[in-house]
Amino acid sequence: MHHRVSHPGAVITKRTLDVIGAGLVLLPLLPLFAVIWTLIKLKCPGPVFFGHIRLGRDGRRFKAWKFRTMIPNGDEVLKQHLETYPAARDEWERDQKLRDDPRVTPLGKWLRRCSLDELPQLWNVLVGDMSLVGPRPIVKSEIEKYGSAYALYKSVIPGITGLWQVSGRNNTTYEQRIAFDEYYVRNWSVWLDTYILARTIRTLLTGDGAY
């Protein structure tokens, strides 16, 4: 299935805007990077950055970079938490997220609420793993949940922000997230990307749907 966003001209246009946009945003944010780096070092012993394997265009695996917001032994803590609390296990299986995640540090909660933890993904944009705007990057275990929509998902490059992030974010159902990704791929335009970027600024300022 071919869509406007996968046409050669659209790919070149989108990639050009990504590189210019990410470069223009990254440079003035370097002092903020330094502040966050220092805070993590002081308050959360361990690595500053965290790379999580996600699926990109054509199903290619890549590391999506974030500022670390979790304790170092997060996987063990999550496993024990899900075994202890059935309601949390159901929430995780349904949404792949927890409203009250025991792994997240106090500083990490603040970074997540402001979406500052995702700033390192500007590097992913520069190297071509991600776009400024696109579907929410998913992990391998989510392919089954996407079903036939996965073909649409992997036809484009995932984004730092997208329709899901500006349309309720964590207040939406998983099915709605998938629908947002489908709509974006089928209806992409430069103007849709511009609209989403503008709405992203509002969402960041208000913290709508963040946890």
3-state secondary structure the chain: CCCHHHCHHHHHHHHHHHHHHHHHHHHHHHHHHHHHHHHHHHHCCCCCEEEEEEECHHHCEEEEEEECCECCCHHHHHHHHHHHCHHHHHHHHHHCCCCCCCCECHHHHHHHHCCHHHCCHHHHHHHCCCEEECCCCECHHHHHHHHHHHHHHCCCCCEEECCCCCCCHHHCCHHHHHHHHHHHHHCCCHHHHHHHHHHHHHHHHHCCCCC
pLDDT for res 205: 76
Are 167 and 200 a contacting pair, CB within 8 Å?
A: no
Host H or E run for residue 145: helix 143-146
Q: What is the residue-averaged pLDDT of the chain?
A: 88
pLDDT for res 191: 92
* Amino acid at the residue 41: K
- pLDDT, tens digit (0-9, with 9 covering 90-100), for 149-189: 999 999 999 999 999 988 877 778 889 999 999 999 999 89
pLDDT for res 159: 96
**φ, ψ for residue 160 (rounded to 5)?**
-65, -40
**φ, ψ for residue 44 (rounded to 5)?**
-135, 85
Q: Which two tokens stand for residue 106?
A: 């106090």
- 1 band by pLDDT with thresholds 50, 70 and 90: very low
pTM to 2 decimal places: 0.86
- pLDDT, tens digit (0-9, with 9 covering 90-100), for 113-126: 888 999 999 999 99
- 210 band by pLDDT with thresholds 50, 70 and 90: low
Question: For 124, how many CA atoms within 13 A lie in the half-sphere containing its CB?
Answer: 30
- pLDDT, tens digit (0-9, with 9 covering 90-100), for 42-72: 988 889 999 999 999 999 999 999 999 998 8
* Amino acid at the residue 86: P
Domain boundaries, the chain: 4-69+104-204
